[in-house]
Amino acid sequence: MNVRCNYCGHSFSLGREFMAMAVPQALEKRQKSVVVECANCRKQVKVPVRQMQRFVPRPAPDAPEESLEESEAS
Ligand SMILES: [Zn+2]
């Protein structure tokens, strides 16, 4: 995902792996944005978590059949 620095206009990309780590952490802390460091000017750029979530695949259920069973049982 591409992020544009508010300060210097430099655009850089965030790795999927980084986002996959940062998004759950931010959600856990109830943060609405993740702070990343601009590769160019080293300032801190806030990236909205919601924006990142679009690029992070949801944790897939290991066994979809099981969750189906659960919902049927209840
Ligand atoms: Zn910058």
Tell me: the pLDDT tens digits for 11-62?
999 999 999 999 999 999 999 999 999 989 999 999 999 999 998 877 666 6
Q: Does residue 52 contact residue 23 with C-beta atoms inside 8 Å?
A: yes
Distance 6 CA to ligand 1 centre (A): 7
In a domain, 67, yes or no: no
In a domain, 49, yes or no: yes
- The pTM (predicted TM-score) of the whole model is 0.71
Distance 57 CA to ligand 1 centre (A): 27
Instruction: Print the domain residue range for 47.
Output: 2-56
CB atoms within 10 A of CB 45: 20
Query: Considering its fold, how many domains does the chain have in total?
Result: 1
Beta bridge partners of residue 36, listed in sequence order: 45
Q: Which residue has the higher pLDDT, 63 or 21?
A: 21
Distance 73 CA to ligand 1 centre (A): 53
Name residue, tokens 């259920």.
61
Sequence-distant (≥ 6) Cβ neighbours of residue 27 within 8 angstroms: 49
Sequence-distant (≥ 6) Cβ neighbours of residue 71 within 8 angstroms: none
Name residue, tokens 């959600």.
27
